[in-house]
Structure 1
């Protein structure tokens, strides 16, 4: 009886194996059929299109389309685009100073780079690039737009931007060598202000140098503001280095891939550049990727108070795979998601501040109509968070300056210094000054949204 049972089990296993193999063969046959279809379409286009076509251009466009169909951050990088990526991570390139991404057939600005031509012209996070040199940019890939914006230093490019509630902004930008000084700093009274504009190969070293300089300028320094607003991200290694600089121990970030065993964890080593002094991290919806790793790590370990607006929500990992040694470009493909030390997903959610503060009255109105907020959640092809959570919807920020607040003042930064004066403790924070709108949690945004609607 036992022998019959074993034979029966063996037959069942063989049957299941054969069925799985047959299913795999069906999938393979379908893949080969679709590849043949691609060849057939390419042949028809070559023979029947109204003008001769460039085979390489068609195939590169097909590769680009295949990658962008996966998610907003997977892409095919033509050889020129691969070279640009390497230049950016090394800290210098020639262009107009924009971090961009594609969504819904348009290319949008994630963040303008500090001091670059685009930032000086008033370009902001969330602006849509609608035209370049008078020709529409609709339907162009990130690589194609980037190629049009790049060029020799000293040459000009005319770009039109669209912005919520405003007329189109057409500016002529003069390309220049963008030497990315990723970390800058200054003393503000009793406190140090540290600005990190991007995360590249030099960021960790530059942070050490800036912190040492600030401490020598004011040995009695009482705390630090780390400003990550409109920082579109960069290298994971740089984000880990910055987080590690302020943490004595514990996990910084983990990344989890397709399989359950594909988990990598990164932990801090002993040593704190701030010597335990209070830290405030400033973020907004232009803070993405590496910025969110730093903010999330310091927030979860209660090493810093996060002030500002909910960050962009790009919590996915891209791996760059050169094709034939880079001769045929490379693939930038999403291979994992990021998680903060507490296990929270950044993807599509972002980092919510401990003290929510808008920089201006107009910005508060945009948050109240958050369908206008440019974030990862706005992408139709974005990965989900994988933990069932969602980004906070339209709401009035907890604090916002009134309409009379001076445009040249930075309310978010002022409140960051207030938090430092309170020793980093929100329960000791002084009440918002006169002229500031304070909104109790749960308040409906309807009236505020209507009052600030541009129409």
Structure 2
């Protein structure tokens, strides 16, 4: 059977006809509830105030059943299944958002780099409240996706809600989203590698970007790998990216319901950078495949992580076509991911070695638990299974003050500082002026410190 690993999960090329489904509910009770479903459908069909479309009702029921399991299990209509397959090739027409649903709301996990949504200022954690003037509450991810996608050049008006701010109403013009998953450039003596998503081309693009930087600067002294606001993608791509920086060792394991349902993925020899110092940038918009890479490189002591704790999506979804896709597909959670040390990503995320907020607004989000957008915020999220919990609201170790240059990328600057220190945090230079440290001290009197930050 051919397997395609996708979005942190697996696409299995089979229908349900060849599967044996075991139910924990007694068989007679299951049949009784299925009869109840049929009776309900018949009553709606006969008595509802206007004629109904039974196909839409049944698809809505399937979607409701799947989303009751956890935020990432869902039913894909035939069109939705086709869209999913299309996205993994790295090109489609839309506005460039990675989204998820919880409690009847659809939220942004991350905007894609240089997409219409990103240019409009959409951020991770934003709630999609209206589309073309119609309330989006109660819509599924597939329904919202259908409304946001469309022909290139057409527009869609979307209203986003953001904690503590006025609603953002913006008109987005759809584009063909050709996802160039990897970009690279030089930052002084160091190489900078940005991965915006994980698709079929990511491993090849990363190798080419590293080679290009090494050609432009043969004596390059290290690399920054930027995974911020990368909502994930193909597991196979995450393994390829991790493997590019490792000589050996486990990358990730996934474990299912039964003790023997364990799959392990290991690196092959051949570090494309030749073992040069590496820093990985993460934040709460780094999810799924991004967390696999960050967790592997951290646990294998190959990289230093800088930024903020990642999203915490450590579950595996298996996409199972129904009747070869003619009736759509089910995306169902079948396992959890674990980093090489045995730590669960699910609901916890990956913590950085050096915690740094990009700006003052980001620091405020982390310090106020109700504003933190992560897997742990979902009421129906799968637990971590290891008894650990995500770190609660706290003041980040470092954050730019009000007077710090708002156009500067402070997280990137600290990543470069770590590289200059050879990856040794004990040799790291002091934070520059304008930076607030979590113990309440400030690196310059130019920053207003009349109100001390909250302690950890």
Q: If the length of structure 2 is used for normalisation, what is the TM-score?
A: 0.91
Deviations 1:231-265 (A, max 9, x none): 00000000000000100000000000000000000
Distance 1:274 1:125 in 2: 31
Contact 1:365 1:448 in 2 (8 A): no
Distance 1:115 1:271 in 2: 32
Counterpart position of 1:231: 230
Q: Measure how far apart 1:25 and its partner are.
A: 11
Describe the SS at the equivalent of 1:291.
Answer: helix
Contact 1:252 1:267 in 2 (8 A): yes
Q: Measure how far apart 1:435 and its partner are.
A: 1.5
Deviations 1:377-425 (A, max 9, x none): 0000000000000000010000011111121111000000000000111
Contact 2:154 2:174 in 1 (8 A): yes
Does 2:243 correspond to 1:244?
A: yes
Counterpart position of 1:197: 196
Describe the SS at the equivalent of 2:232.
Answer: coil
Question: Structure 1's 47 and 215: CA in aligned 2 closer, same or farther, altered over 3 A?
Answer: same
Report which of the two structures shows the higher radius of gyration computed on alpha carbons: 1
Distance 2:121 2:241 in 1: 29
Deviations 1:101-159 (A, max 9, x none): 00111000000000110001110100000000001000000000000000000000000
Contact 1:316 1:336 in 2 (8 A): yes
Counterpart position of 1:276: 275
Describe the SS at the equivalent of 1:326.
Answer: coil
Distance 1:32 1:449 in 2: 55
Question: Structure 1's 301 and 25: CA in aligned 2 closer, same or farther, altered over 3 A?
Answer: closer
Counterpart position of 1:363: 362
Describe the SS at the equivalent of 1:325.
Answer: coil
Counterpart position of 1:80: 79
Distance 1:174 1:55 in 2: 33
Counterpart position of 2:410: 411
Counterpart position of 1:380: 379
Distance 1:193 1:287 in 2: 17
Q: Measure how far apart 1:449 and its partner are.
A: 5.8
- RMSD in angstroms over aligned alpha carbons? 1.4
Contact 2:317 2:332 in 1 (8 A): yes
Counterpart position of 1:448: 453
Counterpart position of 1:396: 395
Counterpart position of 1:257: 256
Question: Structure 1's 302 and 38: CA in aligned 2 closer, same or farther, altered over 3 A?
Answer: same
Distance 2:383 2:46 in 1: 42
Contact 1:283 1:307 in 2 (8 A): yes
Counterpart position of 2:42: 43
Distance 2:76 2:24 in 1: 32
The answer to which of 75-84 and 24-33 deviates more is 24-33
Deviations 1:4-63 (A, max 9, x none): xxxxxxxxxxxxxxxxxxxx9981000000000000000000001000000100000000
Distance 1:159 1:365 in 2: 26
Does 2:295 correspond to 1:301?
A: no
Describe the SS at the equivalent of 1:324.
Answer: coil
Distance 2:391 2:102 in 1: 20
Contact 2:315 2:333 in 1 (8 A): yes
In the alignment, structure 2 segments of 5+ residues that lack a partner are 1-22, 441-450
Q: Measure how far apart 1:81 and its partner are.
A: 0.7
Counterpart position of 1:164: 163
Describe the SS at the equivalent of 2:107.
Answer: strand
Question: Structure 1's 259 and 404: CA in aligned 2 closer, same or farther, altered over 3 A?
Answer: same
Q: Measure how far apart 1:370 and its partner are.
A: 2.2
Deviations 1:61-94 (A, max 9, x none): 0000000000000000001111111111110001
Distance 2:64 2:282 in 1: 32
Contact 1:369 1:449 in 2 (8 A): no
Distance 1:75 1:118 in 2: 24
Counterpart position of 2:11: none
- What count of residue pairs does the alignment treat as equivalent? 423
Q: If the length of structure 1 is used for normalisation, what is the TM-score?
A: 0.92
Counterpart position of 2:320: 321
Describe the SS at the equivalent of 1:90.
Answer: coil
Distance 2:141 2:427 in 1: 46
In the alignment, structure 1 segments of 5+ residues that lack a partner are 1-23, 451-455
4+ residue runs of structure 1 moved beyond 3 angstroms?
Answer: none
Structure ranking higher in helix proportion: 1
Matches within 5 A, 1:174-189: 174-189=173-188
